Amino acid sequence: MKKITFYTLLSLIMMWIPLMSYAQKDSIETKEEKYKKIDMNDIEKKITDKSSNFYYPKIFDRYLKGDTTLTLEEKRCVYYGYSFQKEYDPYGGDVNNDEKLQKLLAKDSLTANDEKNAIDCLYKSLKEDPFLVRQMTTLMYFLKKENRLEEKNAILHRGTIVLDALMSTGDGISEENAIKVINIHQEYDVINFVLELDRKNIESQKLLYKDGCPYDYLKIKSDEYDIEGLYFDISICMKHLSNIFDK
């Protein structure tokens, strides 16, 4: 078996998951439709109303099951609404679990037990942060190998839900149309699965402020796009960090 690394897996996955590639090469540059800005106050009101279809425990359960009937507004509520949950921590994560996974993926060959452990690690990562598209794609690789197709399809739909929510907020070409994220990991998910580029195409990353709002600007090098980079609105992440320091 060829040596498997995280990036090798990603390359293999991108060959057989066309939906997850979420190709928008033309629309990224020329999309004319207006994007809908996120009203976090409105989302909080919706997801805390127990009588509403947007009540967070309800839509989050549907998300975890990979419900394909979620509307765009429900997708936005489940993704951005997570930032109001006590589990939300954009700067957290289980370092030991991540290291264990990376060691497994760096092996020359994987035993059946290794693959089982990798699946366990990936599910654990997604329990820590349920919106990590990159981990979802790797998990799908292993689930497909084990013929656990129902689980694989649910994970596929979850990834699509995340990308739909993200790309409904902007195209990232300017601060005004910045893509709003609740975790910087989703910045790289957009690069990987919307632009279909790798991290090596990112020349630099810069923190900017405009009118008091923080943005991540990722400068991109690619012959495929007539864009210099993408803007990501990271105000939710920074607000969470500020609240931690204020305690």
Interval 66-105: pLDDT, tens: 999 999 999 999 999 999 999 999 988 888 999 999 999 8
Domain range for 239: 6-17+30-246
* Residue 23 belongs to some domain of the structure: no
Interval 116-168: pLDDT, tens: 999 999 999 999 999 999 999 999 999 999 999 999 999 999 999 999 999 99
User: What is the per-residue pLDDT for 21?
Assistant: 47
- 8 Å CB contact between 36 and 169: yes
Mean per-residue pLDDT of the chain:
86
User: What is the per-residue pLDDT for 245?
Assistant: 66
Task: Kindly report the pTM of this predicted structure.
Answer: 0.87
Question: Torsions phi, psi of 16, nearest 5?
Answer: -125, 10
- Domain count for the chain, please give it: 1
* Residue 61 belongs to some domain of the structure: yes
Interval 34-66: pLDDT, tens: 688 999 999 999 999 999 999 999 999 999 999
User: What is the per-residue pLDDT for 8?
Assistant: 52
Q: Which helix (H) or strand (E) holds 185?
A: helix 185-193
- Which long-range contacts (C-beta less than 8 Å, at least 24 apart) are formed by 234-243? 234/181, 234/184, 235/180, 236/40, 236/80, 236/83, 236/90, 236/180, 236/181, 236/182, 237/90, 237/91, 237/181, 237/182, 237/183, 237/184, 238/214, 240/83, 240/88, 240/89, 240/90, 240/91, 241/90, 241/91
DSSP 61-94: HHHHTT-TT--HHHHHHHHHGGGGSTT--TT---
Confidence grade of residue 224 (pLDDT, cut at 50, 70, 90): confident
Cα 203 to Cα 163: distance, rounded to the nearest angstrom: 23
* Residue 92 belongs to some domain of the structure: yes
Interval 164-185: pLDDT, tens: 999 999 999 999 999 999 999 9
Q: Helix (H, G, I), strand (E, B), or coil: what is residue 110?
A: coil
User: What is the per-residue pLDDT for 229?
Assistant: 93
Confidence grade of residue 20 (pLDDT, cut at 50, 70, 90): very low
* Residue 182 belongs to some domain of the structure: yes
Residue 24, pLDDT > 80, answer no
* Residue 22 belongs to some domain of the structure: no
User: What is the per-residue pLDDT for 92?
Assistant: 81
- 8 Å CB contact between 141 and 5: no
Average pLDDT for 203-211: 94
Question: Which pair of tokens denotes residue 25?
Answer: 């090469």
* Residue 1 belongs to some domain of the structure: no
Residue type, 100: K
User: What is the per-residue pLDDT for 192?
Assistant: 86
* Residue 153 belongs to some domain of the structure: yes
* Residue 57 belongs to some domain of the structure: yes
User: What is the per-residue pLDDT for 226?
Assistant: 81
